[in-house]
Chains A and B, each alone.
Chain A
């Protein structure tokens, strides 16, 4: 089911420790080892980081604007630039963590969440929620294409008219999305979803020797990283 990939539970642990480290660290310099670790892990796992970056290309201008704004508003320019760099580093770490998980098929991640004792309703809700967004955007694009085929070209409209047009399109798209979700919920319920407090597994995950080694490696890395980040943070309090 998952070829030679590391057990996703080990990756979940790594991502949890990594993102906690990124959220707790407040300085740009100590964040660098975390960023390097995340990048190295993404390379080793052949995570689809480039693909994720391309998908988020529309957001990059906003992210850079937020970082620049943080730099400008802090008063001291040098300190502000470091604060902006800190924001960027944190975002990159989170993206790399996301890319590490994105390398696994959805059903393997759901199974990992279940075996980590997450309530199965929650695990499926997350998985289906993630599936909803691409479907929603596809449905919106279809509606837009249907409109274009009837001779309306949104790009030629004035911003206000375009906004109005998008508002008109959004409502039926949301309604159709909600209807689809309701049908899906009915289909799931009819197949016993939520009928019993626990469930069995068709393809349970098993930790192999390599996974246990990776698990030990993650714990060692976390301990080493904690020492390094605290040491750098105390001795080189930059940013």
Chain B
């Protein structure tokens, strides 16, 4: 069986750091599964997610040890185009992910990069924005949205690319409870459609329904 994500004895060591960020990590995520990545601040959750989407050690200087496979392939050796099809990531701060002039263009950006045909692109933009509940606001500038809506937009922008594995790096942490609940509802909807999700989070209640993997030590 090919796992969506497979880590065996995986470690990350930053330059000038004497030891790896976290002890050797073993993790298997099956297609369609949702897994919560837990750990204290600084435990290495973000670093691990960067490695999964191929940004580390390529873009971020670090040494990795052990084995990491994304749908059977080493993400560090995958071409960017292939990685875009396999994995999408929503970051903690929506401000650093949104840069286009309108909500619709923000979602279309990734599709434009992947040379998706205009008709198909319009359909996918609409689908993603409807899932995020932002279709009515498609002509607005992202800066006009609330914090929660911005994070939903960041999610929609990633989902439009239909990645097989969706990563969320503490995407709820800057949201008020209502916005966080809405984003979580969107994730549950995706999960019910068979989307593979790996999300880093600190909230016990949100993580409780899923398999929890602790980075940097066992559960407290």
Contacts and interface: CB of A to CB of B under 8 A. Distances in A.
A183 B93 contact: yes
Nearest to B122: A202
B72 interface: no
Contact of B115 (A191, A199, A203): A199
A203 B122 CA distance: 10
A108 B157 CA distance: 19
A136 interface: no
A183 B96 contact: yes
Nearest to B95: A180
A223 interface: no
Given A195-B84, A200-B118, A203-B105, A184 B99 contact: yes
A184 B104 contact: no
B216 to A, nearest CB: 22
Nearest to A191: B110
B174 to A, nearest CB: 13
B121 A202 contact: yes
A198 B99 contact: no
Interface of A: 105-108, 127-128, 131, 180, 183-196, 198-204
The 7 closest A-B pairs by CB, nearest first: A107-B101, A191-B110, A202-B108, A192-B113, A183-B96, A195-B80, A195-B81
Contacts of A128: 99
A186 B105 CA distance: 18
A204 B55 CA distance: 31
25 contacts: A107-B100, A131-B99, A184-B97, A186-B59, A187-B91, A187-B96, A188-B109, A190-B89, A191-B88, A191-B161, A192-B110, A192-B161, A193-B113, A195-B84, A195-B113, A195-B114, A199-B113, A199-B115, A200-B111, A200-B112, A200-B116, A201-B112, A202-B105, A202-B111, A203-B104
B53 A105 contact: no
A106 B101 contact: yes
B102 interface: yes
B117 interface: yes
B35 interface: no
A189 B55 contact: yes
A186 B158 contact: no
Interface range, B side: 35 or more
Nearest to A186: B55
A190 B84 contact: yes
A200 B121 contact: yes
B55 A200 contact: no
B125 interface: yes
B205 interface: no
A72 B89 CA distance: 60
A110 to B, nearest CB: 8
B208 interface: no
Most buried by B among A105, A196, A201: A196
A100 to B, nearest CB: 18
A203 B118 CA distance: 9
A190 B86 CA distance: 10
A195 B113 CA distance: 7
Nearest to A106: B101
Contacts of A204: 118
Contacts of B111: 200, 202
A209 to B, nearest CB: 23
A195 B99 contact: no
A192 B84 contact: yes
B157 A191 contact: yes
B1 interface: no
A199 B117 CA distance: 10
B29 to A, nearest CB: 18
A193 B93 CA distance: 19
B50 to A, nearest CB: 8
A195 B104 CA distance: 21
B121 to A, nearest CB: 6
Contact of A198 (B53, B115, B161): B115
